[in-house]
Structure 1
Amino acid sequence: MAIQHFPLKLVSRRMLAPAVGHYVFVRDDGQPLDFIPGQFIQVHFHYADGTATKRSYSLATIHDHAMAPGEEVEIAVSYVPGGAATALFEGLEAGGIIDASGPFGRFCLA
């Protein structure tokens, strides 16, 4: 099964701590993002040399239903000095678009 990519548009961001950012996105393709607690998305981008890479981020949005198109999704991003993903998120302004895939994973209580 092919991984489905989708665009996320940044709605807002703020700092939660000196090295942790809170980012709020909406899907920019008009589709819903349905997930269950404990799942994560992957953000796809390129290193400075053009090599493709990705980073995983847990979904921090609280919801109890399938998210309708236009509903917001939240992630927290830990900044790593000199990190490629840190540079991506630090440079992202409201309205900016990132490429994502998911959701992945499942949460199990043992």
Structure 2
Amino acid sequence: MTDEPLERWAARREGRLRKPGERKAITLSDGPQRATHVDPDAPRMLLEWDGFAWQPLLTVENYAAARLALYPPPEATPADQAEVTAPVEVRSPLAPGTGRHRRPRS
């Protein structure tokens, strides 16, 4: 059995690790941590990963405020600046095909 080169191992390990600056919210309530939909009005603490441990960042009043802090809305584009998009090819879902799910034509 041959050993894996150190560079390949380090790259594979780096891909599995959390990136510093990653954030998450936890519920501040009595008892074990539960899903966010169970108590959406409970206060939340935002945590940030510094590469070694989760560090407290700030406390917010509920799930909606935590979501807004974690995922801020994108800034609106100015009205005088048009959005540049590539043309999108639209394909009909009923296009003819030879898939096994199609009935043979009689």
Larger radius of gyration: 2
Structure with larger RCO (C-alpha < 8 A, sep 6+):
1
Normalised by the size of structure 2, how large is the TM-score? 0.25
Larger strand share, 1 or 2:
1
**TM-score (normalizing by structure 1):** 0.24
Structure in which a larger fraction of residues adopt helix: 2
